[in-house]
Structure 1
Amino acid sequence: MSGGPATETDRLKAWERVSAAPLTVLSVLFLVVYAVPILRPDLSPGLRDVCVATTVVVWLLFWADIIVRLRLATDRRRFLREHLFDLVVLTLPMLRPLRAVRLVMVVLTINRRTELWARGRLAVYVAATTALLVLFSALAVLDAERLASDANITSFDDALWWSTVTITTVGYGDYYPVTAMGRFVALGLMIGGIGLIGFVTGSLATWIVERVSAAADRPVAATGDDVAALRAEIAALRRRLDPDPADQSAG
């Protein structure tokens, strides 16, 4: 009986290891089929239906993954509490106006894989996270804004520029969302941008402090002039302590 929970935990970890790569591939596939109809408004109805069907299948596979992990979890209530955000993200896109929320799950899945791959490589991890956030936000805001009557974000170039300006907290104001969903995307991007900048600033400050502390702990290397002066003083002191024998005999 005592080996049951341990066995279930091992199964859960084994499932997460096995499913990590396929889920990442599914996330990239989801991004592609989500982006194509947005970037190509003139896409044929047949290809558009294929993209929609693929997004539904991938989303069902995301649901299947979390259900399997729930069944393998030793403490299911704790699992639900720890993955409540994932469940909300999986549920909300069932409402048509909130379909852009699906990108959050894709970001989380790819980001987890990037974190494992780039462990110990802070620059790589931050760059990948920033690129994902900017790209997904641009797609989501373009999807929300394009058909609005008073929209000023009507192309991917505009959306990408707006996303970059927003995440860097520059905020020129030349492009801005006018729909409720577009503003929701902007809110998420602002929060993500502030968090990312805080993370980078904190990491940089920690790196600088560690460098300064290490430099302070190291002994200061003597210069060539210091060594020469010290040798000259030692030689002079030796001459005083050991007079020349010729001088002693003359005396």
Structure 2
Amino acid sequence: MADYRKGGAATVLEAGSERRLRRWERTTAYPLTMLSVLFIAVYAVPILDPGLDPRWRRGCEAANLVIWALFGLEYLARLSLARNRRWFLRSHWFDLLVLLLPILRPLRALRLITALSVLNRRAEAWTRGRLAIYVGVTTTLLVLIAALAVLEAERGHPDSTIQTYPQALWWGLVTITTVGYGDFYPTTLEGRLVALAMMLAGIGLIGFVTGSLASWIVERIETAEKSADESADSALLLREIRELRREVAGLRLEVGSRPGAGPPAEPGPPESRPR
């Protein structure tokens, strides 16, 4: 009995902890989304404007670090609210990885993945049940952010072919679609890591598009076959109705052609009927 009570109490505590975690995630969803957008903005401005005033550049870098630290604090808050912290660490290892790896300077662009993951959670909630919209939004964000990251990594290096944002965008589109013209390519370690992420995303995108197209074709074929079957059933039913009408008409003619046959007598009022 004591073990049963302990198990029941543990279940209640775990359920309460999960409710607090879900409440925290709902409460912080919109602030985190706005922080993610701001994070991308303060990251992008110094990259897109190389001649930015040094004071503004330092301000953007400081805001970038502060927001990244806030993401880390939010992760720790979720970890503290989780009842089963080992399970939380195992299921959210990627969030922890992209929070820790940017400590290394060559991997600082991975901080963008933190913002992208937050936006991805919101996009998933907003477009639930609309997979095509969700994938389109995620892919667009990925290309825009990866172009920023690879431009920061490549600009200024003597062997680099990516020196402007339009070139970085073209590289991102070519890479994520797995076309790979080779006119623009990263030469630094950080740029190649961004390219690796884009290649993996491109494989997933092509798989999704191929699967969706195949599913659409199969669905169209099934719909056409179903419509054809329904049309055939309707035609058969109509033919049977016409044959039945002809048979009824023939019976009426046969009855009407008998000697002394007249139209069927109408029943009289109820009072005149024999009892």
Match of 1:26 in 2: 35
- Aligned mates of 1:231, 1:68 — CA distance in 2: 73
How far residue 116 of structure 1 moved from its aligned partner, in angstroms, is 0.1
Letter in 2 for 1:108: S
1:38 correspondence with 2:57: no
Match of 1:166 in 2: 175
- Aligned mates of 2:117, 2:171 — CA distance in 1: 22
Once the two structures are superposed, the pairs formed by residues 173-184 of structure 1 within 5 Å of their partners are 173-184=182-193
Could you tell me which runs of 5 or more consecutive residues in structure 1 were left unpaired when the two chains were aligned: none
Match of 1:143 in 2: 152
- Aligned mates of 2:123, 2:43 — CA distance in 1: 21
Once the two structures are superposed, the pairs formed by residues 126-141 of structure 1 within 5 Å of their partners are 126-141=135-150
Letter in 1 for 2:45: V
Query: SS of the counterpart of 1:220?
Result: helix
How far residue 151 of structure 1 moved from its aligned partner, in angstroms, is 1.4
Change over 3 Å in CA distance of 1:12–1:227 after alignment to 2: closer
Change over 3 Å in CA distance of 1:231–1:76 after alignment to 2: closer
Q: 1:95 aligns with which of 97, 100, 104?
A: 104
TM-score, normalization: structure 2?
A: 0.82
Q: 1:59 aligns with which of 54, 65, 68?
A: 68
- Aligned mates of 1:196, 1:167 — CA distance in 2: 8
- Aligned mates of 1:224, 1:202 — CA distance in 2: 34
- Aligned mates of 2:235, 2:74 — CA distance in 1: 70
Structure label with greater radius of gyration:
2
1:220 correspondence with 2:230: yes
What is the total number of aligned residue pairs between the two structures? 250
- Aligned mates of 2:39, 2:225 — CA distance in 1: 51
Q: Deviations over 1:26-68 (max 9, x none)?
A: 1111100000010000001000000000000001101100111
- Aligned mates of 1:232, 1:14 — CA distance in 2: 66
Change over 3 Å in CA distance of 1:226–1:92 after alignment to 2: same
How far residue 214 of structure 1 moved from its aligned partner, in angstroms, is 5.4
Q: 1:118 aligns with which of 102, 106, 127?
A: 127
Change over 3 Å in CA distance of 1:224–1:11 after alignment to 2: closer
Match of 1:14 in 2: 23
1:197 correspondence with 2:206: yes
Q: Aligned-pair RMSD on alpha carbons?
A: 2.5
Query: SS of the counterpart of 1:147?
Result: coil
Which moves more between the two structures, 232-241 or 96-105?
A: 232-241
1:206 correspondence with 2:215: yes
- Aligned mates of 1:225, 1:212 — CA distance in 2: 21
1:79 correspondence with 2:88: yes
- Aligned mates of 2:112, 2:71 — CA distance in 1: 12
Conserved in 1, the CA contact under 8 Å of 2:106 and 2:189?
Answer: no
Change over 3 Å in CA distance of 1:245–1:16 after alignment to 2: closer
Q: 1:185 aligns with which of 178, 181, 194?
A: 194
Letter in 2 for 1:21: Y
TM-score, normalization: structure 1?
A: 0.89
Match of 1:157 in 2: 166
Letter in 2 for 1:57: V
